[in-house]
Amino acid sequence: MTTTKVVLRFPPELSDQPVTYKLIKEYDLMVNILRGHITPQEEGMLVLELTGKKRQLDRGIHYLNKLGVETEKLSKDVRWLKDLCTHCAACTSLCPTHALSVERDTMLVSFEKARCIACEMCVTVCPYNAMEVQF
Ligand code: SF4
Ligand code: SF4
């Protein structure tokens, strides 16, 4: 079994396609939706964690691409170096998936790794180098 994280980008005309259903039913994949933003008639984005046999994963990705859905595998990982973080929150408004957020009660920043799509926005903006890319 192989597990991979994939970012899917949908053009507006495909935003109503039941792609997760098909990946499960026809390609025998386990699908974990990490993050999604799909609005009818607009571009959509889904971050999926896919688990299955390598061949089935490849076939599932091929199906998506053939349909017109752009796919990008997450081969990088972004790490939060908690000890360097000053909780300045400069990164939280830029993070597109809310992987970085401020807890209202404590005003402390937290990082939810499962939501991260490794876009590196936080890496660019953090003045304390508390976000790091790992290859
Ligand atoms: S790389 Fe940073 S900004 Fe991008 S999704 Fe991950 S935590 Fe958010
Ligand atoms: S920008 Fe850097 S220091 Fe500021 S909250 Fe984000 S990770 Fe922490």
**pLDDT at position 18:** 87
pLDDT at 41 > cutoff 80: no
Length of the chain: 135
More confident residue, 46 or 128: 128
Q: Is 73 left (phi over 0), alpha (psi -120 to 50) or beta?
A: beta
**pLDDT at position 77:** 83
How many of the other CB atoms lie within 10 Å of CB of 23?
23
Q: Output the CA 118–ligand 1 centroid distance in Å.
A: 5
**pLDDT at position 76:** 77
C-beta 78 within 6 A of ligand 2: no
Whole-number Å distance between alpha carbons of 135 and 129: 16
pLDDT, average across residues 21-42:
86
Whole-number Å distance between alpha carbons of 18 and 23: 9
C-beta 90 within 6 A of ligand 2: yes
pLDDT, average across residues 57-77:
91
C-beta 109 within 6 A of ligand 2: yes
Whole-number Å distance between alpha carbons of 3 and 16: 25
Question: Which ligand is nearest the CA of 86, by number?
Answer: 2
Whole-number Å distance between alpha carbons of 131 and 124: 9
**pLDDT at position 123:** 95
**80, 97, 20, 9 alpha-carbon torsion, rounded to 10°:** -110
pLDDT digits (tens, 9 = 90+) for 78-128: 999 999 999 999 999 999 889 999 999 999 999 998 788 888 899 999 999
pLDDT, average across residues 24-28:
95
Q: How many CA atoms lie within 13 A of 21 on its CB side?
A: 3
